[in-house]
Amino acid sequence: MTASRRRISTLSFVTLTAALLLAGCASAAPTATETSLPTETATAKPTPEPTPTATRASMQLPFAGDCNSVFAAEQLNELVGEAELDEPWGADLPPEETLGLLSCRWNGELSTLEAIVAPADSVVNFPLDRYVMSDCGSAGYYYCGAVGGDSETWILVATLVSSDSAADLQRANTALEYVESASHNYPQPVALKTEKDWWSLPSCDELDSRLDMAAILGRAASEPAYHSDNIPSGPTWDLLEGAGRTQWCPWTVSDGSPYDTESKVVEIEMWPGAADTDAMQKLIAVEGIEPIDVTGADSAFIGPGLAYSGTYTSLYVIDGPNVMQVYGLDGDPAGLSAVATAVLEQLQ
């Protein structure tokens, strides 16, 4: 997703808040079917070309998926001084790819700079007031952002709030101008189209009402909560969740109080349509990832995951075009598998 959660939430500034970052893609494009030639070829009419849809074949990432193309080196130097592209745990996870989303972060001498680019029609119920405000930091958030783009492309650029909010806002607006200009050199981003075999994600409360997580894990009590402020947040998470491309649900299980030292946390992330993304294939190719049998799954893999910075065991379960990540329970394979099987029964 320890000291810091993964960067499924792109604006996670560890000096200010511990943010969970996360966590889908679509099924492969349908194969072309053969059509018999007409008997009288002289009178045959040409078949019109089908209208392109946002399938795996036509999905398009902003800037061809390359963060190094977003800013020129001299622009970064102007904005934040000498800077390095940050590649934390959790970068380039499948849900970002399914949404046609690119999120990039640079750590500079003057500030941290982030750029998030997505198809405009994928931005649903986004809480813009958390990231863009006239007086940066005044609402209690730690972001100073500017939003722009056009009818096809949505762009958010933000920096870490400093003591000079006017300079922060100017930096964000200048950075936005650079990203808008550079984006015109690339095709418009396109998200994957939701297919009928993608999971429709239930709410965490609804899922909890169908499951007895304590019984599944052989404990006395369970609570659908995570007793920490270490939860998913940030603009990338908000984009993915709003579009239905990811969801995070935690449970604390115990034999008494959920706060006792023997309590355990198990967390799941659901990624509709994630199985065939390039990011997912890279994820299950990480050194130490091994196949494992999970009842009800088409395939599953377990090993060093991206739930936390550092090494942490994650279980990746593939069900058709969908993926579920399960982690926690101190990496116990039997417990993770039991949870995966129970949740799969509710999603299939």
Which has more pLDDT, 73 or 14? 73
Is the model more confident about 137 or about 348? 348
Residue found under tokens 């000291």: 3
Q: What are the boundaries of each domain within the chain?
A: 62-184, 204-347
pTM of the model: 0.79
Is 249 strand, coil or helix?
Answer: strand
**What CATH code would you report for 204-347?**
3.40.1000
Q: What percent of the chain has pLDDT over 70?
A: 78
pLDDT at 306: 64
- CA-CA distance, 174 to 160, in Å (whole number)? 15
Q: How many Å apart are CA 52 and CA 330, to the nearest integer? A: 46
Q: Say what the pLDDT of residue 59 is.
A: 82
Looking at 103-107, 227-231, 274-278, which range is the least confident one?
Answer: 227-231
320 CB neighbour count, 10 Å cutoff: 16
Which residue in the block uniquely carries the two structure tokens 């579920």? Answer: 324
- Please state the rounded mean pLDDT for residues 186-211: 94
Condensed to tens digits (0 to 9), the pLDDT of residues 25-63 reads: 333 343 433 433 344 434 444 444 443 334 455 689 999
Element (H, E) at 95: helix 94-98
Asked whether residue 224 carries a pLDDT value surpassing 60, the answer given is yes
Q: Would the CA dihedral through 193, 198, 200, 204 be positive or negative?
A: negative
Which tokens sit at 287?
């050194």
Nearest to 328 by CA among 180, 255, 257, 226: 226
Element (H, E) at 97: helix 94-98
Is 91 or 155 the better-scoring residue by pLDDT? 155
**Distance separating alpha carbons of residues 279 and 180, to the nearest angstrom:** 26
Residue 15 pLDDT exceeds 50: no
Q: In three state form, how does the secondary structure of 279-334 look?
A: HHHHHCCCCCCEECCCCCCCEEEEEECCCECCCCEEEEEEECCEEEEEEEHHHCHH
pLDDT of residue 56: 52
pLDDT over 50 (residue 344): yes
Q: Residue 176, exposed/middle/buried by CB under 10 A (0-12, 13-18, 19+)? A: buried
pLDDT value at residue 71: 96
pLDDT in tens, 81-118: 999 998 644 446 889 999 999 999 999 998 889 999 99
Angle among Cα 61, 63, 65 to the nearest 5 degrees reads: 50
pLDDT digits (tens, 9 = 90+) for 67-84: 999 999 999 999 999 999
d(CA 331, CA 314): 7
Could you give the CA distance from residue 333 to residue 24 in angstroms, rounded to a whole number? 22
Query: Which residue bears the tokens 């893609």?
Result: 25
Residue with tokens 């355990």: 264
Q: What is the pLDDT of residue 92?
A: 61
Q: Of 104-108, 111-115, 260-264, 342-346, which range is least confident?
A: 260-264
Q: Pull the structure tokens for residue 71.
A: 């800013």
**Would you list the DSSP string of 180-229?**
HHHHTTSPPPBPPPPPTTSPPPPPHHHHHHH--HHHHTT-SEEES--SSS
Place 2 in a pLDDT band, splitting at 50, 70 and 90.
very low
